[in-house]
Chains A and B, each alone.
Chain A
Amino acid sequence: MSETMTMDSKAGAVGLKHDQPLIEVIDLFKYYANNFVKTYVLQDVTLGIADGEFLSIMGPSGAGKSTLLHILGMLDEANQGQYLFLNEPVHRFNEKRRTALHREHVGFIFQAYHLIDDLTVYENLETPLLYKKVKSSERKGLVNDTLDRFNIVAKKDLFPHQLSGGQQQLVAVARALITRPKVIFADEPTGNLNSKQGTEIMEMLAQLNREEGTTIVQVTHDEVKARYGHRIIHLLDGRIERVEVVGDKLG
């Protein structure tokens, strides 16, 4: 990669200059009002994420990482600020349009695997396609391809509780990918896995980013795993404290 990186004067907002940013958030605020006291969880967050970027978010517990990720993934709304996704003003969208945009472009992976307990592996993979109204024959093809690709064909009729943690997370990743989203948000995707399993998942995400150009935004507590990203955003008390460009990725 040979892009020039520029540091914006504003609290560490960074964009890859020549690219149209996939996501842009400007002056984002998020607070909870309890007993007439506003507790700010995110303050003045401005951030651009380029199409094809691999971004890591780090920070201590309670810093607001998950909150930011959920807002970026359109599961939650900021109280203030702008959110542009492919130049579309998401902050002005109603829930229906947000859901549509989310459904089209976003995949999610959680620390706690979060598969639907009542569905088999096959059905878990199929569900996002159902919501996307993918036709039955095409759906079958996609699910089978994905099962193949993740080497879990043998497990397709098992329920989540019959799988190990690593296998469950594998299914969760597969499920996030199956709709070919533009961007995947991963909230501590390896947090509950042993190091070998964790590395496997990280390798897979990196490969996806490299070979298919899928944008990846991950939250992690692990310095090593954070360095899979092109940049690392450090959050502290809801603010972007600093942006680290991962040097060895530039070569």
Chain B
Amino acid sequence: MFRNIITIALRVLWRQKLYAGINLLGLSVAIALSLLVALFVVEEYSYDRFHTNADRLYLLNQHENPPDRDEFGSTSTPFVLGPSLAEQSAAVEHVVRLTDWNTQARVGTEAFDVKLTYVDDSFFDVFSFELLESASANPLQNLSGVVLSESVAERLLGTGPWVGDTVLLELDGEEAEFTVTGVTVDPPATSSIDYQILVPFDVIHRIAQADWMTMWMIVWPKTYVLLQEGASTAQLDQALQAMYEANDFAGMFGEGGLWYEYLPITDIHLHSQFASPELGTSSPVYSRILLGIALLILIVASVNYTSLALGRSVTRSKEVGLRKVMGAAGSQLRRQFLSESLLLAALAVPVAWVLAELALPWFNNVAGRELMLSLDPLIGGILLALVLLIGISSGLYPAVVLARYNPHRVLKGQASVGGGSRFIRGLVVLQYSLAALLLIGTILMGQQLQFLLNRDLGYQGEQVVNLSSSTRSRDVAADLLERFRARALQEPGVLQVSAVSNTFGGVWGQVGFDTDDGQFMQVYANSIDPDLFETMDLQLVAGREYSQDRPGDFVSGIIVNEAMVRFMGWDDPLGQRLPCSEMDAHEVIGVVQDFNFQSLHNEVEPLVLFVEHTALAPGINDVVNYSGVRNELLVRLDGSDIAGTMRTLEGIWHQVAPEMPFAPEFLESRLNAYYQNERTLSGVVRVASGLTVLIAAMGLFGLVSLAVARRTKEIGVRKVLGATVPQILTLMAREFSILILVATLLAWPLGWFAAQRWLEGFAYRIDLNPLVFVVVTLSLLVMSWLTIVLLSLRTATRNPAHALRYE
């Protein structure tokens, strides 16, 4: 029976090549996309599960709610937290403190930008990273030793074995020699901990003050806890409670003003509140969006099968009648027809696999992953589930309709033509609503991105190169700037050179202080080189710029933006000072026109610029992401012979900073990076809408060709009665046009609502143009008309006698 069913199904598919082809193509595309999405989602949900102890590993997040401040939380914890917990709680098996530090490594004369990761020596007992080479049982116990990941070892030291080799690491302006005591396999892609060079935690003394190690107010490293088997986090709570009391946290943070959250390590990737590039955190939203889009395309492709199967059901009705005459029960027929849709879905799998392989590089690029396609049991299971899902959901209704045919009527030539035609119309509407929705999304997202990129930001970012020096020393940075500027300004292609502490296209720092009336105030702050205004073409609306003629301004002059003036409510900003008498004497010497120093998701917020922060420093008691080291150089080029100028700049750089890598970045590309998420989403939506329209168009092609075949005789009769070709084309187009019109009109409010929601994420956004909606409707209509004309024209222009004679 089974073999018979398969044989028939194959023959039916073969004979109906057009429909089989349409379905095969549509389903393959849908399955291929689903496969890619499945790879992504599987990876998203497998983060950090490779640790043998994953089920009892936690990252501690610190939450503070001090009396006069906003609630604040982060993954940074006091140095003292981990050791205290290990000491005081029997529930703790091990604690690992971990913190990253970007610096430079040198081997011989070659310098490299590297990331150091300071870790406690229990690191390898807690996490399941695999040692390739090791000098001793625990390579982290040697305070002058480091452990490298394999790829970094290769990059720095060439081919292995590496244990015993030495590298110089810059720690707080000085180089120190370390011996390689171990090399590990690179951390897997699904690890939230991504390290290059592991350094024994105690080495942190070289960059951190000794008293921080015991202070509860200083937070820096992340703290991971491995619980004893069978222990619970409630036991940690008890230990922490004891610490609260012993250390008088209530006094420091207020009653209940400090608490810890135990984030299971496997939740870090998707469920951390504290998104950080350091942890490579993601959000389940991405999985959901991609799953939604895959589902949508699966629906559209399955709808093709269903509507074409229904459209062709009349052709199959004779077979149904005959089979019933031969004793087939309805259930047997349903099974037969269902097996056809299942077979088709199964046939689409190998095609989908090839498509997925081809699309994988694109997908990886868009998703920022390095996914690979391999047929493991999970993927096999997913494919099987997809085949069943598609086969059953697309084939069930036609199977039921077909199996219902009354043999008596069919065999008398009275096949009920109406079978499922209302259903088909519903499906067409569904398809085109989805297509219209995605098209609307594509256009609006494109418009918003264009808008973001073309908007006047209040400064000139074109032809400005950012040169980042990784030094953490103010003096080194200042010296580098002067020597570089002196040489670079000699070059004809260079217009200006300047430097800032936090550069454009990145995150700017904030400083906080307590005002004289007891309020906590936090504003954006940046330490700038006096030439910044000229380099970036910032506009001053009041007061004066910094100039070498007034060196006093470098210490006591601040320049604020208009937002700051509004925020402070200053009528006459010049001469004002920040409302904090702990700060040394300073005054506002100028007001700069608002410029977007953040991405356009945000309004321009209050900003204070200064050259030196020394006057303000005494009052500042909170610093976020602000260093005061002007280590970001900005070079404005004149735009002629950019490549040549860049080569010259590189030469200069290597002379003035031989130990630092030359890493130029155009500001424009940094600014583009602000909208990477949006661009990714918009790219995915664009591809999804393209595929949806394509699949829906193929479905329409099939339906129209069925309609033409069915109405050949009618068309002949109408022509005999005097209908013109346009009249006949109109007749053919009318039904589908109405359906598409209805479908797109349904998509309008949905598209409007969704776009509005998405745009709310931007402080600066386009106005929704109703024309976009009209254009989407019109283009889908035109596309359908083209299909209809293409397919009907032959029949409509043919001599009617022909159609009638051979009917």
- By Cβ-Cβ distance, the 3 closest A-B pairs, closest first, are A103-B327, A76-B408, A131-B327
Residues of B close to A100: CB separation below 8 A: 329
Max chain B CB contacts within 10 Å: which of A118, A123, A126? A118
Q: If the complex has contacts A76-B408, A110-B411, are A132 and B327 also in contact, measured as CB distance less than 8 A?
A: yes
Determine the distance from Cα of A131 to Cα of B325 in the docked complex, in whole angstroms.
Answer: 11
- Given pairs A70-B408, A127-B4, 11 additional interface contacts (CB within 8 A): A76-B406, A99-B327, A99-B328, A99-B329, A99-B330, A110-B411, A114-B411, A115-B322, A127-B323, A130-B1, A131-B327
Residues of B close to A132: CB separation below 8 A: 327
Judge whether A117 and B319 touch: CB under 8 Å: yes
Asked if B106 CB lies within 8 Å of chain A CBs, one says no
Asked if B407 CB lies within 8 Å of chain A CBs, one says yes
Interface of chain A residues 86 through 130 with chain B (CB within 8 A): 95-96, 99-100, 102-104, 108, 110, 114-119, 123, 126-128, 130
Interface of chain A residues 10 through 69 with chain B (CB within 8 A): 66
27 pairs, A vs B, C-beta closer than 8 Å: A70-B408, A75-B325, A75-B406, A75-B407, A75-B408, A76-B406, A76-B408, A96-B329, A99-B329, A103-B326, A103-B327, A103-B329, A110-B411, A114-B411, A115-B322, A116-B322, A118-B8, A118-B12, A118-B319, A119-B8, A123-B7, A127-B323, A127-B326, A130-B1, A131-B323, A131-B326, A179-B327
Shortest beta-carbon distance, A104 to chain B, in Å?
Answer: 8
Determine the distance from Cα of A132 to Cα of B323 in the docked complex, in whole angstroms.
Answer: 12
Asked if B155 CB lies within 8 Å of chain A CBs, one says no
Asked if A175 CB lies within 8 Å of chain B CBs, one says yes
Determine the distance from Cα of A7 to Cα of B3 in the docked complex, in whole angstroms.
Answer: 53
Judge whether B319 and A116 touch: CB under 8 Å: yes
Shortest beta-carbon distance, A163 to chain B, in Å?
Answer: 16
Shortest beta-carbon distance, B493 to chain A, in Å?
Answer: 75
Asked if B332 CB lies within 8 Å of chain A CBs, one says yes
Residues of B close to A118: CB separation below 8 A: 8, 11-12, 15, 319
Chain B 317-353 against A: per-residue CB contact (8 Å), 1 yes, 0 no?
A: 0110011111111101000000000000000000000
Shortest beta-carbon distance, B557 to chain A, in Å?
Answer: 90
Determine the distance from Cα of A124 to Cα of B326 in the docked complex, in whole angstroms.
Answer: 10
Shortest beta-carbon distance, B327 to chain A, in Å?
Answer: 3
Residues of B close to A127: CB separation below 8 A: 4, 323, 326
Residues of B close to A130: CB separation below 8 A: 1, 4
Determine the distance from Cα of A132 to Cα of B326 in the docked complex, in whole angstroms.
Answer: 9
Asked if B805 CB lies within 8 Å of chain A CBs, one says no
Shortest beta-carbon distance, A231 to chain B, in Å?
Answer: 24
What is the chain B residue whose CB lies nearest that of A102? B327
Asked if B757 CB lies within 8 Å of chain A CBs, one says no
Asked if B412 CB lies within 8 Å of chain A CBs, one says yes
Residues of A close to B4: CB separation below 8 A: 123, 126-127, 130
Chain B 3-33 against A: per-residue CB contact (8 Å), 1 yes, 0 no?
A: 0100110011001000000000000000000
Residues of A close to B328: CB separation below 8 A: 99, 131
Q: How large is the interface on A (under 10, 10 to 19, 20 to 34, 35 or more residues)?
A: 20 to 34
Chain B 357-389 against A: per-residue CB contact (8 Å), 1 yes, 0 no?
A: 000000000000000000000000000000000
Residues of B close to A175: CB separation below 8 A: 326
Contacts from A to B (Cβ < 8 Å): 66, 70, 73, 75-76, 95-96, 99-100, 102-104, 108, 110, 114-119, 123, 126-128, 130-132, 175, 179
Judge whether A99 and B323 touch: CB under 8 Å: no
Max chain B CB contacts within 10 Å: which of A70, A75, A115? A75
Shortest beta-carbon distance, B344 to chain A, in Å?
Answer: 16
- Identify which of B1, B406, B412 contacts A66 (C-beta below 8 A): B412
Residues of B close to A99: CB separation below 8 A: 324, 327-330
- Identify which of B12, B332, B408, B411 contacts A131 (C-beta below 8 A): B332
Shortest beta-carbon distance, B418 to chain A, in Å?
Answer: 16
Judge whether A114 and B322 touch: CB under 8 Å: yes
Shortest beta-carbon distance, B69 to chain A, in Å?
Answer: 75
Residues of B close to A119: CB separation below 8 A: 8
Determine the distance from Cα of A115 to Cα of B326 in the docked complex, in whole angstroms.
Answer: 11
Max chain A CB contacts within 10 Å: which of B15, B330, B407, B408? B408
Determine the distance from Cα of A66 to Cα of B15 in the docked complex, in whole angstroms.
Answer: 32
Shortest beta-carbon distance, B532 to chain A, in Å?
Answer: 79
Q: If the complex has contacts A114-B318, A116-B322, A118-B12, are A128 and B408 also in contact, measured as CB distance less than 8 A?
A: no
Determine the distance from Cα of A39 to Cα of B485 in the docked complex, in whole angstroms.
Answer: 104
Determine the distance from Cα of A99 to Cα of B326 in the docked complex, in whole angstroms.
Answer: 9
Residues of A close to B332: CB separation below 8 A: 131
Determine the distance from Cα of A64 to Cα of B11 in the docked complex, in whole angstroms.
Answer: 37
Determine the distance from Cα of A128 to Cα of B322 in the docked complex, in whole angstroms.
Answer: 10
Interface of chain B residues 404 through 428 with chain A (CB within 8 A): 406-408, 411-412
- Identify which of B1, B15, B325 contacts A108 (C-beta below 8 A): B325
Shortest beta-carbon distance, A189 to chain B, in Å?
Answer: 14
Q: If the complex has contacts A99-B324, A116-B323, A118-B8, are A131 and B318 also in contact, measured as CB distance less than 8 A?
A: no
Judge whether A128 and B326 touch: CB under 8 Å: yes
Residues of A close to B411: CB separation below 8 A: 70, 75, 110, 114
Judge whether B327 and A75 touch: CB under 8 Å: no
Shortest beta-carbon distance, A95 to chain B, in Å?
Answer: 7
Residues of B close to A76: CB separation below 8 A: 406, 408
Determine the distance from Cα of A103 to Cα of B318 in the docked complex, in whole angstroms.
Answer: 18
What is the chain B residue whose CB lies nearest that of A178? B326
Chain B 751-762 against A: per-residue CB contact (8 Å), 1 yes, 0 no?
A: 000000000000
Shortest beta-carbon distance, A57 to chain B, in Å?
Answer: 16
Determine the distance from Cα of A119 to Cα of B5 in the docked complex, in whole angstroms.
Answer: 11
Shortest beta-carbon distance, A165 to chain B, in Å?
Answer: 17
Shortest beta-carbon distance, A180 to chain B, in Å?
Answer: 13
Shortest beta-carbon distance, A125 to chain B, in Å?
Answer: 10
Shortest beta-carbon distance, A181 to chain B, in Å?
Answer: 10
Judge whether A128 and B7 touch: CB under 8 Å: no
Residues of A close to B318: CB separation below 8 A: 114
Residues of B close to A114: CB separation below 8 A: 318, 322, 325, 411
Residues of A close to B15: CB separation below 8 A: 118
Shortest beta-carbon distance, B274 to chain A, in Å?
Answer: 63
What is the chain A residue whose CB lies nearest that of B7? A123
Residues of B close to A108: CB separation below 8 A: 325-326
Residues of B close to A116: CB separation below 8 A: 319, 322-323
Shortest beta-carbon distance, A27 to chain B, in Å?
Answer: 20
- Identify which of B319, B327, B330, B406 contacts A128 (C-beta below 8 A): B327
Determine the distance from Cα of A228 to Cα of B328 in the docked complex, in whole angstroms.
Answer: 31
Determine the distance from Cα of A128 to Cα of B327 in the docked complex, in whole angstroms.
Answer: 6
Shortest beta-carbon distance, A219 to chain B, in Å?
Answer: 12
Determine the distance from Cα of A103 to Cα of B8 in the docked complex, in whole angstroms.
Answer: 21
Q: If the complex has contacts A117-B319, A118-B15, A123-B7, are A75 and B326 also in contact, measured as CB distance less than 8 A?
A: no
- Identify which of A73, A95, A117, A179 contacts B330 (C-beta below 8 A): A95
Determine the distance from Cα of A160 to Cα of B326 in the docked complex, in whole angstroms.
Answer: 17
Determine the distance from Cα of A116 to Cα of B322 in the docked complex, in whole angstroms.
Answer: 7
What is the chain B residue whose CB lies nearest that of A117? B319
Judge whether A131 and B329 touch: CB under 8 Å: yes
Determine the distance from Cα of A110 to Cα of B407 in the docked complex, in whole angstroms.
Answer: 12
What is the chain B residue whose CB lies nearest that of A131? B327
What is the chain B residue whose CB lies nearest that of A112? B411
Residues of B close to A131: CB separation below 8 A: 323, 326-329, 332
Determine the distance from Cα of A96 to Cα of B324 in the docked complex, in whole angstroms.
Answer: 11
Shortest beta-carbon distance, A105 to chain B, in Å?
Answer: 10
Determine the distance from Cα of A175 to Cα of B412 in the docked complex, in whole angstroms.
Answer: 20
Determine the distance from Cα of A159 to Cα of B549 in the docked complex, in whole angstroms.
Answer: 102
Residues of B close to A96: CB separation below 8 A: 329
Residues of B close to A123: CB separation below 8 A: 4, 7
Determine the distance from Cα of A104 to Cα of B15 in the docked complex, in whole angstroms.
Answer: 32
What is the chain B residue whose CB lies nearest that of A100? B329
Interface of chain B residues 397 through 448 with chain A (CB within 8 A): 406-408, 411-412
Q: If the complex has contacts A110-B411, A114-B318, A131-B332, are A75 and B323 also in contact, measured as CB distance less than 8 A?
A: no
Determine the distance from Cα of A60 to Cα of B323 in the docked complex, in whole angstroms.
Answer: 29
Shortest beta-carbon distance, A100 to chain B, in Å?
Answer: 8
Residues of A close to B322: CB separation below 8 A: 114-116
What is the chain B residue whose CB lies nearest that of A95? B330
Determine the distance from Cα of A116 to Cα of B411 in the docked complex, in whole angstroms.
Answer: 12
